[in-house]
A and B are shown apart, each in its own frame.
Chain A
Amino acid sequence: MNGIHDLGGMHGLGPIAFDEDPAPFHHEWERRVFGMFLPIFSLGIYNLDELRHAIERMGASAYLNTSYYEHWLFAYETMLTEKGTLTRAELDARCAQIAAENC
């Protein structure tokens, strides 16, 4: 299916931003998102194509304005709530609690 993720040949996305730092992660949260990939996947709640499809269903502006590991985070949240492992209300409440503790 065509979508914003199908970037090949698209114009107007700007120059390539080179990054000389060979480290795979630039923030601690990126590490955690990557590290959760296999443990969550191993629960057998979704398959890899479903996970990719969740990313492909992001809105065009959200897709282009967020980074690679934010795409993964969005996909985990989408899959786990759609499959009933977590509820959106639980996630929202926990986010609010963490925000209140760290402001």
Chain B
Amino acid sequence: MSNNHSRPLSDVEIRVKALESLLVEKGLLDTAAVDALIDTYEHKVGPRNGARVVARAWLDADYKQRLLIDGTKAIAELGYTGMQGEDMVVIENTADTHNVIVCTLCSCYPWPTLGLPPTWFKSAPYRSRVVSEPRAVLQEFGLLLAETVTVQVWDSTAELRYMVLPQRPAGTEGLDEAQLAALVTRDAMIGVATVQAPVK
């Protein structure tokens, strides 16, 4: 069974195969369970979930109030629960205040609403810099905020996960929930972007 690869395996690939195969042999791991978790987070959970939460909040003032008071419960109303979403706090962007999230200690991220984090969110440069020079970091993302806008940075704890409720852009009156949700990006819910109205 040798040489069926186009290149030698890297050290990390070997370690992963070693660990998985040993656990399977000992009866401690079922590869089907591994495959199922991958499939869930690769295909079923992602920022479309969070976008639906945002669109609902834009359209339904009562829902928005519930979302800002108890994020976990209001998000669960739309069916989004589970790992890394057990204690959700949703923070609202306004004309005066812009919010951005980070996990400086780890790479904690609200999986049920945003899916798995992008590579840059987990990287040392983002984690180190966004808390000390958020405006400069946001500018690198192409987001230039007026000096009059307060920037608040929210750093996750071991249990708590944040999500940003972006501002609804002008010119979206009359759009329904699905149309609004389609405008909401992952980056806007992290707080490194704003939501743009559709180009007419």
Contacts and interface: CB of A to CB of B under 8 A. Distances in A.
B73 interface: no
B1 A101 contact: yes
Nearest to B116: A24
Contacts of B2: 101-103
A100 to B, nearest CB: 8
Interface of A: 5-11, 13-19, 22-29, 31-40, 43, 48-49, 52, 55, 64, 68, 70, 73, 76-77, 80, 85-86, 90-91, 94-95, 98-99, 101-103
A38 to B, nearest CB: 5
Contacts of B9: 98-99, 102
B37 interface: yes
Contacts of B18: 91, 94-95, 98
Contact of B42 (A31, A48, A70, A101): A31
B118 A31 contact: no
B14 A39 contact: no
B12 A32 contact: no
A77 B125 contact: no
A18 B174 CA distance: 34
A27 B41 CA distance: 15
B15 A39 contact: no
B28 A16 contact: no
B78 to A, nearest CB: 21
Interface string B7-36: 011101111111111110010111001111
Interface residues of B, number: 57
B35 A35 contact: yes
Contacts of A95: 14-15, 18
Given A17-B123, A32-B34, A35-B37, A49 B104 contact: no
A18 B125 CA distance: 11
A73 B122 contact: no
A15 B125 contact: yes
A65 B24 CA distance: 29
Nearest to A45: B28
Given A7-B127, A15-B125, A39 B34 contact: yes
28 contacts: A8-B104, A8-B105, A8-B131, A8-B132, A13-B128, A16-B120, A16-B123, A16-B129, A27-B13, A29-B10, A32-B17, A32-B20, A35-B34, A35-B35, A35-B37, A35-B38, A36-B34, A37-B37, A38-B33, A39-B33, A68-B119, A73-B19, A86-B22, A91-B18, A98-B14, A102-B3, A102-B5, A102-B14
Contact of A85 (B28, B34, B105): B28
B120 A19 contact: yes
Contacts of A19: 118-120
B12 A73 contact: yes
